[in-house]
Structure 1
Amino acid sequence: MTKTTPFNSAHHLLNARMVDFHGWEMPLHYGSQIEEHHAVRRDCGMFDISHMCAIDAIGLDAKPFMQRLLANDVEKLRAGKALYSCMLNEAGGVLDDLIAYYLGGGRYRIVVNAATAEKDIDWMKACAAGWKMQLALTPRCDLAMLAVQGPNARETVWQALPDIRDATTAMAPFHAQQVGDYFVARTGYTGEDGFELTFSAQHAETLWQRLLELGVRPCGLGARDTLRLEAGMNLYGQDMDESVSPLDAGLGWTVVFDTAREFVGRSALLSRPRQSQFLGLVLDGGGVLRPQQKVFTATGEGLITSGTFSPTMEKSIALARLPLDSTMGDTVEVEIRGKRHSAHIVKPPFVRNGRILV
């Protein structure tokens, strides 16, 4: 049975084009994916992200559990700080990428992807049992999540929720805190500033309507994908999965080896060095770069993992796994519908905070 979020009726009232997304009925767009994309880059847009799963990890062993579970190290976290990490299997493949928030006092909140949520929860519970650790893992199905993103996003959220302004004005990026009824995180998946708000599902439609009245543009999965690709952010299931090492997915920076800490997948990563570089491509002419297209370089073949047309750059862009000796600025060829097209290698991100960087 298809699942729905607390915003489902609001999407239908706006005549959103709804699609099945990993078992959830979600909006693809509300009429124009391009306009939604530009709204986030230039002003303010909002995304229903309630299909993602928040899991609270609380208990005496919450910290050692997180240190063993994740490739990144929660030791660096202080209360209110967020951490991006991969959760690996024993072979060093990526089970999921996630954000972990440290709430203080043996309490963490983990936000995982919708497509992997059930598998992730089973894995975490099996690990906790196998390691004999004392903690409770609680999926928060009672919560709604809304991302408000763009150069005017924070100011607009403060207008909608004035009671959170004082507590969050000085909050730095990649931090979060509970303010009254709202868990407010200065995180996102678009390359723009803003907030991700987590709160009781009963408040969902009220906040949505308030933001609509302030001129915030509702945005669907389509714009979310073009925005995240411009921002050089990985998508689970395309840019990495259980068969891909984070070292080959451009996520080596999230893996902490420089302590004696043991974590799942560490030995496998150490025994299998990086096999490829994860870089960006910009198509030099017409056409559109797509996942699974072959890339031909002077020293071997590569593969596009994510590709699309960039509304901001008005060019086609992609993320790709390329030979280790690939260099920024190199010209390569991409096979599109049986023909080879010229592209050049760049270092992601392509666009951040409204600025084209490549």
Structure 2
Amino acid sequence: MGQRTPLYALHLAMGAKMTDFGGWEMPLHYGSQVEEHHQVRQECGVFDVSHMCVVDVGGANAEAFLKHLLANDVARLDLPGKALYSVVLNEQGGVLDDLLVYLTASGYRLVSNASTREKILGWLHLHSPSFDVTLHERRDLAILAIQGPQARAKLSQLVTVARAALIKELKPFQGLEEGGWFIARTGYTGEDGLEVMMPADDAADFFNELVGAGIAPIGLGARDTLRLEAGLNLYGQDMDETVSPLVSNLAWTVAWEPASRAFIGRAALEAQLASGVPSKLVGLVLEERGVLRAHQVVRVEGLGDGEITSGSFAPTLGKSIALARVPMATGERAEVEIRGKWFPVRVVRAQFVRHGKVLI
């Protein structure tokens, strides 16, 4: 039996089809994955993401500690609650995980993936003895993500006056505390929305209240197609310990300045830059009927082969799309092998939909 969030029984009561995700029993959908996808794109929906790992980092050396561990630079967090997206690298420049880090009143809050919980906790504890820091895993919290163009307006009607005021003022990539809840304006769908971290004991009642107010529950199936349309990486598929951010469309998460900041993996990335980055992560669009799937071979004439890392039918587009790692010089056309046959695909920037707008 896998691990369960505080909402497990409620998911069953709502008719969710459950699935294993990184060792957790999570809702795949509540009836129709495609309808849930459209619900988020057009209105809003609520996801249970309480399986994610939350760690509060404090102490006199918290900033120096995270400057060493993260490829991005927490010195960029110049306002209370401001958030930063970063990767955590090993010495070889491979991606151990991707995460969000928030500046808080008492230090920093990290939110990382459920499937890498033990690995990241071990990594933090491995490197913490060299710094005056405290690490506090927040298993007492649940997280609900309310995503979609109507998310902020609808949520504001269901919370206290003080929390509604915070939601109104909250900037993108910012998270602030109010009355024991931490409300952040980030997301994983390509739409506007909020993540609410709250005491686990509050989660079931609030989830029920959201659904009762017409905010549909959304499962992991739609979460995956939404993030794929947005061109957002999934750890373990689009990047992992064997590849660097430079070949994962994540070079923007690496802060090279100041040059004196010796973050873990920096030397390996610099060596890769010096020798030439061999590949890149791009978007693919299949113009014919068929479905693009992870691990299908991508053939680029005159350059060699690549591989699809994530692929699916995109409900917003009505076409099959994918993220694929291909040779660096790849242009606008390629071919994908599907069941022994080769199909032409269009190569595009790895972002298909953002804020409801089709970008390709």
The TM-score range, normalised by the shorter chain, is over 0.9
Residues 306-345 of structure 1 correspond to what in structure 2 (within 5 A)? 306-327=310-331, 330-345=332-347
CA–CA separation in structure 2 for the residues paired with 1:277 and 1:2? 35
* 1:123 Cα deviation after fit: 0.6
After superposition, what is the alpha-carbon deviation per residue over 1:227-275, rounded to whole angstroms, capped at 9, x for unaligned? 0000000000000000010100000000011212110000011111222
- Matching residue's letter, 2:109: R
Gaps of 5+ in 2: none
Corresponding position of 1:240: 239
Q: Is the 8 A contact 1:101 1:176 kept in 2?
A: yes
Corresponding position of 1:168: 167
- Matching residue's letter, 2:239: M
Q: Is the 8 A contact 2:156 2:167 kept in 1?
A: no
Corresponding position of 2:153: 155
Corresponding position of 2:285: 282
1:101 is paired with a residue whose SS is strand
Corresponding position of 1:139: 137
* 1:189 Cα deviation after fit: 0.3
* 1:172 Cα deviation after fit: 1.0
Please point out which of 261, 281, 294 is paired with 1:291: 294
1:285 is paired with a residue whose SS is coil
Q: Which runs of 4+ in 1 moved over 4 A?
A: none
Corresponding position of 1:85: 86
* 1:162 Cα deviation after fit: 3.3
CA–CA separation in structure 2 for the residues paired with 1:162 and 1:35? 30
Corresponding position of 2:199: 200
Q: Is the 8 A contact 1:305 1:318 kept in 2?
A: yes
Corresponding position of 1:43: 43
Moved more, 117-126 or 318-327: 318-327
The alignment's TM-score, normalised by the length of structure 2, stands at 0.97
Q: Is the 8 A contact 1:160 1:207 kept in 2?
A: no
CA–CA separation in structure 1 for the residues paired with 2:81 and 2:71? 20
* 1:348 Cα deviation after fit: 2.2
User: How many corresponding residue pairs?
Assistant: 353
After superposition, what is the alpha-carbon deviation per residue over 1:260-299, rounded to whole angstroms, capped at 9, x for unaligned? 2110000011111222111100001011001111111122
Corresponding position of 2:34: 34
CA–CA separation in structure 1 for the residues paired with 2:291 and 2:166? 44
Corresponding position of 1:304: 308
CA–CA separation in structure 1 for the residues paired with 2:6 and 2:59? 29
* 2:265 matches 1:265: yes
Superposed CA RMSD: 0.9
The alignment's TM-score, normalised by the length of structure 1, stands at 0.97
* 1:168 Cα deviation after fit: 2.4
- Matching residue's letter, 2:128: A
Moved more, 156-165 or 145-154: 156-165
Residues 111-150 of structure 1 correspond to what in structure 2 (within 5 A)? 111-129=111-129, 132-150=130-148
CA–CA separation in structure 2 for the residues paired with 1:220 and 1:146? 12
Corresponding position of 2:75: 75
CA–CA separation in structure 2 for the residues paired with 1:275 and 1:80? 37
- Matching residue's letter, 1:245: S
- Matching residue's letter, 1:171: L
- Matching residue's letter, 2:328: L
* 1:3 Cα deviation after fit: 1.0
Q: Is the 8 A contact 2:248 2:281 kept in 1?
A: yes
Corresponding position of 1:214: 213
Moved more, 291-300 or 57-66: 291-300
Q: Is the 8 A contact 2:152 2:167 kept in 1?
A: no
2:157 is paired with a residue whose SS is helix
* 1:181 Cα deviation after fit: 2.2
2:115 is paired with a residue whose SS is helix
Corresponding position of 2:355: 353
